Structure 1
Amino acid sequence: MKLLSKLIPIACLLVIAGCGGGDVETIETAAFKGTVTLDGSPLEKGIIQFRPGKDASGQPLRGQMTEATINAGQYELPSDKGAVVGENAVLISATKVVGKEMADGEEIDKVEQYLPAKYNSETTLSVNVTPEDTEHNFELSTK
């Protein structure tokens, strides 16, 4: 009985060690940077998001959406937060304060999206992300 009580924990450890050790598929991402201009001038502040699209066979790409802050027209995605390699939808948003409003008994800034919907909620922007192409620039227009 003493031998059995010593073998059971060892057997459990061997079973646990053997579980889940198979091949883990990594999702390839790429770091890059770029500029965002609006009507020829750098976009002062905003957010740029990259949402994985579909691969060459039309299947959805696996991976997470990623985003970066735009400051003075510049953005950068580091390697640990890069966009998924392949086709990505691009969403760019920028807001401005247009007044004040009451929320939970407090006065707060009322903000409004000032970029056209074709760049964010109804985006028409996309980019094919590759490890070799390290810069993606976007020229936006309010017209």
Structure 2
Amino acid sequence: MIDRGLQLMTRNPVEASVMLALGMALALMLCSGCGGSAGEITGRVMLDGRPLNGAIIKFKPKGNPEAKEVTAEVNGGSFTIPSGRIAPGDYYVMVVSQQPGAGAIIDGVQRGEGIPAPKAFVPKVYEKKGTLSAKISADGSNNLMFQLKTGEF
């Protein structure tokens, strides 16, 4: 088999170069996912000093609009992103939470029997890209803390 490969290289160097380039491209594509993710990400989200419950935390990569957003549920003030779901780097962080309650009545439902529309529980400013940020490292020490305040904005 090795002799045949050597014969191919000496007989047609252009074909051998093309095969080598294709092989290297394939190897790069296969290895592009190797080692490119951080370990488990854990964190806390506090609102006015109390653990936030029933929220979604979103991580959007900075400087890469094509990259996927990673989300996790926040319950009891804690969230976890399993190992391999997020790559190391800088991220915009957004927190979204709604609670049923004193909002307007949902359209199409009779007064007195309606379900209240969800009311924003976290200030809207935390839903915007750029208010919060995080740096995810490859070394595995990713324990994040976000302190949100209702009267700050």
1:84 matched to 2:93? The reply is no
How far has the Cα of 1:103 moved from its partner?
Answer: 5.0
Q: Report the Cα distance in structure 2 between the residues aligned to 1:34 and 1:131, rounded to whole angstroms.
A: 16
Amino acid at match of 2:60: R
2:137 corresponds to which residue?
A: 130
Q: Matched residue pairs, number?
A: 120
1:114 matched to 2:133? The reply is no
How far has the Cα of 1:62 moved from its partner?
Answer: 6.0
Percentage of matched positions with identical amino acids: 24
Q: How does 1:1-143 map to 2 (within 5 A)?
A: 21-24=26-29, 25-26=32-33, 28-30=36-38, 31-54=40-63, 60=64, 63-81=67-85, 83-97=86-100, 98-99=102-103, 100-102=105-107, 109-132=116-139, 133-143=141-151
| Cα distance, 1:126–1:104 mapped onto 2, change above 3 Å | same
More strand by share: 1
Q: Report the Cα distance in structure 2 between the residues aligned to 1:110 and 1:29, rounded to whole angstroms.
A: 39
Structure 1: runs of 5+ lacking an equivalent:
1-17, 55-59
2:16 corresponds to which residue?
A: none
SS in 1 for 2:138: coil
1:4 corresponds to which residue?
A: none
Structure 2: runs of 5+ lacking an equivalent:
1-21
Deviant stretches of 4+, over 4 Å: none
Amino acid at match of 2:82: P
Per the normalisation by structure 2, the TM-score is: 0.66
How far has the Cα of 1:115 moved from its partner?
Answer: 1.3
Larger Rg: 2
Per the normalisation by structure 1, the TM-score is: 0.70
